Amino acid sequence: MAHTPEPAGPPKKDRLQHGLRDMVLSLLALLVIIAALLLFNRSCSFSPGGPEIDPSSAPTVDVRPQFEQVARTVDFSLRLPAVPARWRANSTTTNRAGADSVVVRAGWLTPDRFVGLSQSRAAAPELVELETGARAEPTGSVEVDGTQWTVYPGVRAERAWAAALGGTTTLITGTGTEDEFRTLATAVQAAQPLPRS
């Protein structure tokens, strides 16, 4: 009895023979799935012009009690400036500044920008490097009510002003306008050091 061979099916396709068309179709399927997930997840947004900061979503902090508490523990005079009412404090921190000092910081959101105040016993070049992330040479100086502030380049669009106030190195940083920097400089110069006991 003669053996009849079974009909052969279609030839098996080797994975290496998958073409560009198959890869494109797979990617399109993945993109459809990702788009569906993003559509149903309202916490994601597309912003082709870069991130936008909603000032109302930033935290608000009360600087006074934190500065009053820290003033009793640091070895330099700490000042709390009286800033304009429309500025909103959104951060305060205290960290090490070198081997033998700390830096006390506060940040405010101005109507369109932000400014920060750092105070420490560290020397100005050390504090500038710590706060801006780069060792930089001064680019000039400005005078505010008889006090000379040394101007340093900041990070990206920021600037930095440093001055010695009563043995404390005081640094203003941020994206604020020159008028806002002058406002903060005037306020910190006029502030009395907080009690240390």
| pLDDT tens, residue by residue, 28-82 | 888 888 877 766 665 555 555 444 555 556 678 899 999 999 999 999 999 999 9
d(CA 78, CA 192) in angstroms, rounded, equals: 8
| pLDDT tens, residue by residue, 5-40 | 666 656 565 555 567 888 888 888 888 888 777 666
d(CA 80, CA 166) in angstroms, rounded, equals: 14
Cα 185–190–194 angle (5° rounding)? 105
Listed range (73-82, 90-99, 177-186) with the worst mean pLDDT: 90-99
pTM of the shown model:
0.70
